[in-house]
Chain A
Amino acid sequence: MNVTLLGQAALNGLLFGGVYSLMAVGLSLIFGVMRVINLAHGDMMVWGSYVAFFLALRLGVDPFVSFLLCAAALFSLGVLVQRGLVNRVLEAPHEMQILLMLGVALVLENLALVIFGPDTRRTESAYGLETVWLGPVFVDVARLMTFVLALAFSLALYLFLFRSDLGRLIRAAADNSYGALVIGADVGRIYTVAFGIGAACVGAAGALMSALVPFSPAAGFAQTVVSFNIVIIGGMGSLLGAFLGGILVAVAESLGAVLLVPSLKELVSFVLLVLILLFRPQGLFGRKTA
């Protein structure tokens, strides 16, 4: 075990963390605004990956460009799911919401299976195999691109939420939905847009990740679990927590793969999760609630 190897692993994890952050931010936004747990999150991600895959295969669009189209496509899907389904169960008991979202997850996964088949795919990118040496460690250019683009996407979301009128309304509704009604906000529209944006985040993450990691219709559930872990580690309802949590978990997994056995990397994020639940149940950046 040497320092260079660890440094390399940490760097790889950091660069991979951008997509983790983006998908967790999407989940956290949806939860924060509607208190609905999007159990179809990972499956939405896989759909983002497929859109990127086919745009690359048929039209030759690089995933590092098409991720914006994937975000737009998933935004539409999110809007449909919210308007058609989630909207109807917002007042319903949690178990109803969970069943519904599990149903959406199953439908999305099996629809992908029917349409795209069970094969594992990976999106072609012009940057796929390029590397740059940085002293003793090398930088995988594709990873670097995903990191930069995921960061840019998150920054754009931040600016939207904190600088635009609609963004402020979304934050207001997340903070106090009754208060938002009182000031005359169209809370139904806010919910729809927020769900759409949450789905767009994970769609973009799916597109970016599809150039790094192979995916198949069955990959969605694992991604939902990872997103979930990150959001709890970062703190429920905190977008900054989700963002930093994504990077933390990615680095931890990457180090874990080197220090332990690669197949045990998921274990690392679960250990992190358990530690957080034991010692800081509100998460790293969550507010303490009664």
Chain B
Amino acid sequence: MSALLRVDGIEAGYGDLTAVRGASLEVRPGEIAALIGSNGAGKTTMLRAISGLLPIRRGRIDFEGDRLDGLPPSKVVGRGIAHVPEGRQLFPSMTVLENLELGAGHAKALKAESLEWVFSLFPRLRERRQQLAGTLSGGEQQMVAIGRGLMARPKLLMLDEPSLGLAPVLVRAIFDNLVEINRRGMAILLVEQNVLRALQLSHRGYVLENGQIVLDGPRDTLLADGHIKQAYLGR
């Protein structure tokens, strides 16, 4: 099967610092791929490079067979990639509804339908739609961030640590939602430090250490891998 997203040997960083060095990965249509790694490994940098928020210095990125790198974020979203960023990055003084609708950018024609879908995934947001996003709880804010990404009706949804700072029960709910979203055929690239859970719901995974992919494979291979068990699963 040909890849939806192919990242090929990219290098990216900040000033003199190279945060990602020669990393490659791919996401296939309809799958959930996990990108795991510890703090500072370069996971966020990878996602920002794919989104066009950060230029790459080497390598290339293709989406549906066409070159993606070098495009501004607005074009990347237009091509069908939505980014649910680290720290959510909502518009705190705007309402939940406004936040969601702003996500529809390139998919305005489907706005009403998308909104219905987001509200059915996160019924809580329907109740809170006129509330200012900045006044929501952390879990609710994460729902808005995911919902805002979905409003773009992307082919690929990239999430950067959606479980960060949430209570375990909420983490489970959010991850269940991701499986539900994926069932509708949307491919997902999931960045997580919650390694066990992330791998459990993914089809394949990549392990990033010091800006390099050190390991990749199907879920079961990774879950059984000695290095992963020792370094990330603590057993």
Q: Chain A interface (Cβ within 8 Å of chain B)?
A: 165, 168-169, 171-172, 175-176, 178-186, 287
Contact = CB atoms under 8 A, between A and B. Distances in A.
Contacts of A181: 53, 73
A184 B94 contact: no
Interface of B: 51, 53, 72-78, 83, 85, 89-94, 98, 101-103, 105-106, 108, 148, 152
B105 to A, nearest CB: 5
Given A178-B89, A182-B83, A183-B152, A168 B73 contact: no
B53 A168 contact: no
Contacts of A175: 91-94
A183 B102 contact: yes
A181 B105 CA distance: 11
A181 B51 CA distance: 10
Given A171-B91, A186-B74, 9 more contacts: A165-B108, A168-B94, A168-B101, A169-B102, A176-B91, A179-B91, A180-B91, A182-B73, A184-B76
Contacts of B102: 168-169, 172, 183, 185
Given A175-B92, A175-B94, A176-B90, A185 B105 contact: yes
Nearest to B148: A183
B100 to A, nearest CB: 10
B77 A184 contact: yes
Contact of B106 (A171, A179, A180, A184): A184
A176 B77 contact: no
Contacts of A287: 93
Given A182-B53, A183-B148, A172 B74 contact: no
B78 A184 contact: yes
29 contacts: A165-B108, A168-B94, A168-B101, A169-B102, A172-B91, A172-B94, A172-B102, A175-B92, A175-B93, A175-B94, A176-B91, A176-B92, A178-B89, A179-B85, A179-B90, A180-B91, A182-B51, A182-B73, A182-B83, A182-B85, A183-B102, A183-B148, A183-B152, A184-B73, A184-B75, A184-B106, A185-B74, A186-B72, A186-B74
A194 to B, nearest CB: 15
A128 B158 CA distance: 62
B14 to A, nearest CB: 14
A183 B89 CA distance: 10
Contact of B77 (A168, A169, A179, A183): A183
Contacts of B94: 168, 171-172, 175
A186 B209 CA distance: 33
Nearest to A186: B74
Nearest to B83: A182
Contacts of B90: 176, 179
A10 B50 CA distance: 59
Nearest to A188: B72
A182 B106 CA distance: 13
B103 A183 contact: yes
A172 B72 CA distance: 18
A35 B73 CA distance: 22
Nearest to B151: A183
Nearest to B48: A182
A287 B75 CA distance: 34
A175 B132 CA distance: 12
Contacts of B91: 171-172, 175-176, 179-180
A186 B102 CA distance: 12
A184 B98 CA distance: 15
Contacts of B92: 175-176
Instruction: Please provide the 4 A-B residue pairs with the shortest distance between their CB atoms, ordered closest to farther.
Output: A184-B77, A179-B89, A175-B91, A184-B74
Nearest to B78: A184
Contacts of A186: 72, 74
B101 A183 contact: no
Nearest to B90: A179
A121 B161 CA distance: 62
A88 B158 CA distance: 31
Greatest chain B CB density within 10 A among A169, A171, A182 is at A182
Contacts of B77: 183-184
A102 to B, nearest CB: 30
A182 to B, nearest CB: 5
A70 B77 CA distance: 37
Nearest to A172: B91
